[in-house]
């Protein structure tokens, strides 16, 4: 299992300036879920090659993952 901690950055628009806020470092799963949620993108792992794949927008898998809050999976092959 890969052990990586990463910070997430959020941009908060203001009248003239954009405020950037960093979160505390999070594990890979939580950090990627938070990041991909802001982009509205979900990933799945290909069943044959085990490579990560981006789900098509509004596909059944995309909708299911967004409802469950799981935008990113790091399952080992």
- Tens of pLDDT, residues 59-75: 999 999 999 999 987 66
- pLDDT at residue 76 in the model: 56
Is 34 within 8 Å of 26 (Cβ atoms)?
Answer: yes
- pLDDT at residue 2 in the model: 52
Mean pLDDT rounded to a whole number for the chain: 82
Is 54 within 8 Å of 42 (Cβ atoms)?
Answer: yes
- pLDDT at residue 1 in the model: 47
Is 33 within 8 Å of 71 (Cβ atoms)?
Answer: yes
pTM score above 0.75: no
- Tens of pLDDT, residues 30-63: 888 888 998 899 999 888 888 889 999 999 999 9
């Amino acid at each position: 299992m890969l052990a990586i901690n990463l910070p997430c950055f959020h941009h908060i628009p203001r009248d003239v300036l954009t405020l950037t806020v960093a979160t505390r470092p999070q594990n890979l799963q939580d950090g990627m879920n938070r990041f991909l949620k802001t982009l509205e993108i979900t990933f799945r792992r290909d069943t044959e090659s085990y490579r990560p794949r981006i789900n098509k927008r509004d596909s059944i898998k995309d909708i299911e993952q967004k409802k469950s809050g799981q935008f990113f999976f790091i399952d080992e092959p």
